Amino acid sequence: MNKKRWIALFLFLGVVALVVVGLGRLSPRGAERAWREVPLYGQGEKVLLLELKGSIPTGKALEDFLSQVRQAREDETVRAVVLLVDSPGGGVTETEAIHRALKALAEARPLVAAFGSVAASGGYYAATAAREIFTPPTALTGSIGVISVIPEVSGLLEKLGVRVEVLKEGTLKDMASGLRPLTPEEKGVLEAYMGEAYELFLRRVAEGRNLPLERVRALADGRIYSGKQAVALGLADWEGYLENAAQRAAELAGLSAFRLVRYEKPKGLLQELIGEENPLGLSEAEALLGLLSQSRFRLEYRYLGGGLW
């Protein structure tokens, strides 16, 4: 290759490198990212829709949700917020993090919750941060309690001829590993841990719904309630849907007219050019790896009728 071709090649590679660096800087991954507002309907001042759908988020999805809550709290042009909950719940720690963030938001501006078809366990827990709760009469809610499912595979391993040696320092170090049944002592340790999480759930419901703690305890045997039953029991305020909750949030903010908006991830220039954020479809694989990497013992505010995952 002659000298001119080498020079042309280096110039081309240099231009490519500059373009890649520039696109990376324009991408939302490279900077503090604000959420972009997307109008849904109406005219007037802003009422924001936050959506808590599916299992309580973890990892990056949890960070994204908390980031939306934080932006809503800091944006003075957001006059009220409606929280749409359609979730069977999820991890104890993540649920409490969401509740704390929503509670701080509710102290800054009116927050009204609206249930979808399922707002149970951790989904209901999160909703108690709202000033008022609307629920369809046929929605499934309640399921106030704590659960942990621990697969015990020692019998299966024995059938397969697999023997596992566990080396440990500390008598209870391998409890809840699933490699052997729990001992009575181990069950006591785990049940005490679950008891703390259960009591926290009761307090959050009592505080959020302005109910006596013992009244909440009587309702908190893990059973599910219909939306109609929840209103009668004081676990929700009104029978209604998202539109009713949005209207009520606007009223609490003193708005005669409002426009409902939601947040959306902004796209960097590279994503605009490619046309999709993840052309390789890695999100499903990443989610699966995250699931497999979770500890076997995991406390959850979850209604299992809504699915394990």
| Angular region, 150: left φ>0, alpha ψ -120 to 50, beta rest | beta
Tokens (6 digits) for 114: 């609206």
**Alpha-carbon separation of residue 191 from 92, 142, 173, 198 (angstroms):** 14, 21, 16, 10
Extended strands (E) in 45-137 = 45-53, 78-87, 89-91, 111-120, 132-135
Question: Does the annotation count 121 as an active-site position?
Answer: yes
Tokens (6 digits) for 260: 């409902």
Q: Of 60, 168, 173, 187, which one is the catalytic site residue? A: 173
What contacts 85, CB < 8 A, 6 or more positions away?
52, 53, 113, 114, 115, 116, 119, 123, 124, 126, 127
**Alpha-carbon separation of residue 139 from 49, 85, 116, 278, 304 (angstroms):** 19, 11, 7, 34, 16
Tokens (6 digits) for 273: 């050019």
CA–centroid distance for 27 within its chain? 25
Q: Yes or no: say if 277 and 64 are a contact pair by the CB < 8 Å rule.
A: no
Q: What are phi and psi of 86, to 5 degrees?
A: -140, 75
Q: Yes or no: say if 56 and 90 are a contact pair by the CB < 8 Å rule.
A: yes
Question: Does the annotation count 283 as an active-site position?
Answer: no
Q: Of 55, 87, 121, 177, which one is the catalytic site residue? A: 121
Instruction: Please name the amino acid found at residue 213.
Output: L
What contacts 187, CB < 8 A, 6 or more positions away?
none
Tokens (6 digits) for 172: 């209870």
Active site residues: 121, 173
